[in-house]
A and B are shown apart, each in its own frame.
Chain A
Amino acid sequence: MLERHILGPIEALGQYVLLLSKAFRSLGEFGIYQKNLFQQMVRIGIDSIPIVALAGLFSGAVLTVQTAYQLESPFIPQSIIGSIVVPSMVLELGAVVTGFILAGRVGARIAAELGTMRVTEQIDALEAMGLNSIGYLIVPRVMAGILMFPVLYITATGVGIGGGVGVAHYGGFLSAGEFVAGARQFFSPFDPIFGLIKSFVFGFIITSVACYKGYYTGGGAEGVGRSTTEAAVLSCVYILFANLALAVLIL
């Protein structure tokens, strides 16, 4: 009992770190995996743009309506809504909403894909040919995650702010001009940098956890199902922790 609950996670962490260090060491032969990187950047990044944009749009819009509702007072200038919505999107919502959506979309897909490759011996087949399966499969996915999550974060945040402005303007809360003026008043250039850092970290967490779960899948179709669920759930949990840790450390 004790052994399972304490040593289990420590062992898993060790295995995870070892996998990543092997991936890191295989960076030298990156030439071979380059084609896979572009493919993964499309699948992880470009293909996720619509859902991330949609989520961003609604977060920005809802945030604006709710902020307007809370601040409904003749003594508060309505431009303050822009000052609240924009930093919230930039600092928090853009990255977190992207992270949660992609933990499901990207994390589960990677884990299912690699897990299936494991149980059908496709990973053995790669190794048998003399390829480095970790370099071939994991490096492109994690790199694509790190490279594309910031793009997705920018998309979600940009569309979210757009949604906020749209709702503010057409919903009759405040004009687009006032919204932008409010946003500018308290704008800190560090905010988007912090958001980008978060998105890098989330991209790394989601893809690396999913690769780890998928790569070490055992036990047939059931094992693939388990890995897939665990990849999605664990990435969400780690994103929550990382989000707090980054806020405490950096802000």
Chain B
Amino acid sequence: MIEVRNVYKSFGSLSVLEDVSLTVQDEETLAIIGKSGSGKSVLMKHLMGLIKPDKGEVIVDGTDINAVSYQELRDLRQRFGMLFQGGALFDSMNVFDNVAFPLRTFSPLPEDEVRARVRENLAEVQLEGVEDKAPSELSGGMKKRVALARAVALKPQYIIYDEPTSGLDPETSNTINELIRSLSEQSNITSIVVTHDMHSVLSIADRAAFIHDQRIRWLGTIDELHTAEDPVLNGFVRASEYQIGKPAAATNK
């Protein structure tokens, strides 16, 4: 379980998060929605201690991650996998080595099993035959999928996806949503998905949190999303080309 308690964060004079509290339950899939620049990525980085809050706490499985030693924080981080919004692929390595990196560094798997796992992971994101390419030779959507394969390679307990489908065509988006869903259905995997894509939210999430004006403005289940009476939330949802009650809702699990 991850608990964010009364977190405040500003960069210089720009206040990004104010009194943000949020609990991510074990094994759920939580979608984080909100306008561009509303602080979604900043909030995600708080969950792993990549950014320290100015005030407030982040508790992961009972441990305040900003109050422990660096060594303990690193151990905690190994429970996470994170897909960065920009991919953050290591450009000193080819695609294969990027995906193999967490396996080689943190798992006891022998090299031939690492190879098999990497191929499998890349196939899951529909990437084959690009193993030897450098990240700079890939398209934006391909980078994102390699990064996704890398993030989930170790099947971590918590997986954070920062806009997994942005920049992908609708068909590939669906495949990625399927992958995220099938991973999240495995036992003991908790997923947090930042997305603009209401279709993703409806097809994979159990709950959604809406960030607006530095705060969590709305938090509820997907069913509640249909009946929410918050005008700002409704405006956001409708602007995402989704009308409550229209067929997209049928994909809700």
- Shortest distance between the CB of A41 and any CB in chain B (Å): 16
Number of interface residues of A (CB under 8 A): 15
B88 lies within 8 A of A122 (CB): yes
Q: Which residues of B contact A10 (CB under 8 A)?
A: none
B186 at interface (Cβ–Cβ under 8 A)? Answer: no
B74 at interface (Cβ–Cβ under 8 A)? Answer: yes
B225 at interface (Cβ–Cβ under 8 A)? Answer: no
A129 lies within 8 A of B106 (CB): yes
Q: Which residues of B contact A116 (CB under 8 A)?
A: 91
B5 at interface (Cβ–Cβ under 8 A)? Answer: no
- Contact among A124, A125, A130 with B106 in the assembled complex (CB-CB below 8 Å): A130
Q: Which residue of B lies closest to A136 (CB)?
A: B105
Mark contacts of A113-126 with chain B using CB atoms, 8 A cut-off: 1 yes-contact digit, 0 otherwise: 10011001110110
Cα distance, A116 to B90, chains bound together (Å): 10
B229 at interface (Cβ–Cβ under 8 A)? Answer: no
Cα distance, A121 to B85, chains bound together (Å): 9
- Contact among A32, A121, A132 with B86 in the assembled complex (CB-CB below 8 Å): A121
- Contact among B80, B92, B105 with A128 in the assembled complex (CB-CB below 8 Å): B80
Within 8 A of A (CB), among B33-86: 45, 48, 50, 70, 74-78, 80, 82, 84, 86
Known contacts A120-B88, A130-B106, A131-B105; A125/B82 CB under 8 A: yes
Which DSSP category, helix, strand, loop or mixed, fits chain B's interface? mixed
Known contacts A32-B105, A120-B86, A124-B50; A129/B78 CB under 8 A: yes
Within 8 A of B (CB), among A95-142: 113, 116-117, 120-122, 124-125, 127-132
Q: Which residue of A lies closest to B78 (CB)?
A: A130
B89 at interface (Cβ–Cβ under 8 A)? Answer: yes
B74 lies within 8 A of A130 (CB): yes
B141 at interface (Cβ–Cβ under 8 A)? Answer: no
A129 lies within 8 A of B50 (CB): no
Cα distance, A128 to B90, chains bound together (Å): 13
Number of interface residues of B (CB under 8 A): 22
- Shortest distance between the CB of A126 and any CB in chain B (Å): 8
- Contact among A122, A124, A128, A130 with B91 in the assembled complex (CB-CB below 8 Å): A122
Cα distance, A191 to B112, chains bound together (Å): 53
Which DSSP category, helix, strand, loop or mixed, fits chain A's interface? helix
Q: Which residues of B contact A120 (CB under 8 A)?
A: 86, 88, 91
Q: Which of A122, A124, A128 has the most CB of B within 10 A?
A: A128
Cα distance, A116 to B102, chains bound together (Å): 21
B74 lies within 8 A of A124 (CB): no
A130 lies within 8 A of B86 (CB): no
B86 lies within 8 A of A128 (CB): no
- Shortest distance between the CB of B212 and any CB in chain A (Å): 25
Q: Which residues of B contact A121 (CB under 8 A)?
A: 84, 86, 88
Cα distance, A129 to B98, chains bound together (Å): 12
Known contacts A122-B89, A124-B84; A129/B45 CB under 8 A: no
- Shortest distance between the CB of A148 and any CB in chain B (Å): 19
Cα distance, A124 to B45, chains bound together (Å): 9
Cα distance, A77 to B42, chains bound together (Å): 74
Within 8 A of B (CB), among A122-175: 122, 124-125, 127-132
Q: Which residues of A contact B75 (CB under 8 A)?
A: 130
B74 lies within 8 A of A128 (CB): no
B105 lies within 8 A of A122 (CB): no
B84 lies within 8 A of A127 (CB): no
- Contact among B77, B86, B89 with A129 in the assembled complex (CB-CB below 8 Å): B77
Q: Which residues of B contact A130 (CB under 8 A)?
A: 74-78, 106
Known: A122-B88, A122-B90. 17 other contacts (CB 8 A): A120-B86, A120-B88, A122-B91, A124-B45, A124-B84, A125-B88, A125-B90, A127-B77, A128-B50, A128-B80, A128-B84, A129-B102, A130-B74, A130-B76, A130-B77, A131-B105, A132-B74
Which 5 A-B pairs rank lowest in CB-CB distance, beginning with the nearest?
A: A125-B88, A130-B78, A121-B88, A130-B77, A130-B74
20 A-B residue pairs with Cβ-Cβ distance under 8 Å, sorted by A, are: A120-B86, A120-B88, A121-B84, A121-B86, A122-B89, A122-B90, A122-B91, A125-B82, A125-B84, A125-B90, A128-B48, A128-B50, A128-B77, A128-B80, A128-B84, A129-B101, A129-B105, A130-B77, A130-B78, A132-B74
